[in-house]
Amino acid sequence: MKFGIVINEGPYTHQASDSALQFVKAALHKGHEIFRVFFYHDGVNNGTSLGVPPQDDRNLTLEWSGLAEKHGLDLVVCVAAAQRRGVLDEDEMGRHGKSANNLAPGFRISGLGQLIEAGIQADRLVTFGD
């Protein structure tokens, strides 16, 4: 079955990103397809490569990047939510005249159309948040 996943909460806030990660791992393990993971609202903070959690803690951004690399996941960060929170890729950095970019590997910035498409294309859309 095809899953769309929505994450509305940043890492290390409550548990949304952790729950979504465990859910996605279990779904992949069971042979399901993850059509897309859409990071919205504070969820875009999962996509910053500049987080440095303590070494004995989990690194959620690295976990998502690793999972994306291993399983070809499409990790989409909402552009408007990301701009507000300072999550930029190289294009957005140039477009807004900023001095740095921080989008982690495996993530891409796009718009709400990607969420709508996930809702249409996926058999199930599961939302994790606050």
Partner 1 sequence: MATLHTVNKSPFERNALESCLRLAKAGSAVLLFEDGVIGAMRNTRFSDKVTQAMNDFSIYVLGPDIQARGLDNDKVIDGIQVVDYNGFVDLTTEHDTVQSWL
Give me the phi and psi of 86, to 5 degrees please: 75, 35
78 classed as catalytic: yes
Which residue's entry shows tokens 């548990």? 15
Q: How many Å apart are CA 111 and CA 67, to the nearest integer?
A: 22
DSSP string, 25-64: HHHHHTT-EEEEEEE-GGGGGGGBTT----TTS--HHHHH
Q: Which helix (H) or strand (E) holds 115?
A: helix 113-121
Report if residue 108 touches partner 1, rule: CB under 8 A.
Answer: no
Q: Of 6, 27, 44, 78, which one is the catalytic site residue?
A: 78
CB of 92 to partner 1, least distance (A): 28
x-or-dash string of contact with partner 1, 9-48, rule CB under 8 A: -----xxx--x--xx-xxx-xx-x----------------
Report if residue 58 touches partner 1, rule: CB under 8 A.
Answer: no
Total residues interacting with partner 1, rule: CB under 8 A: 23
Question: In a 3-state reduction of DSSP, which class is residue 33?
Answer: strand
CB of 1 to partner 1, least distance (A): 5
Q: 17 and 43 in contact (C-beta within 8 Å)?
A: yes
CB of 6 to partner 1, least distance (A): 8
CB of 51 to partner 1, least distance (A): 21
Q: How many Å apart are CA 9 and CA 130, to the nearest integer?
A: 6
- Catalytic center residues: 78
Chain residues binding partner 1 by CB under 8 A are 1, 3, 8, 14-16, 19, 22-23, 25-27, 29-30, 32, 123-130
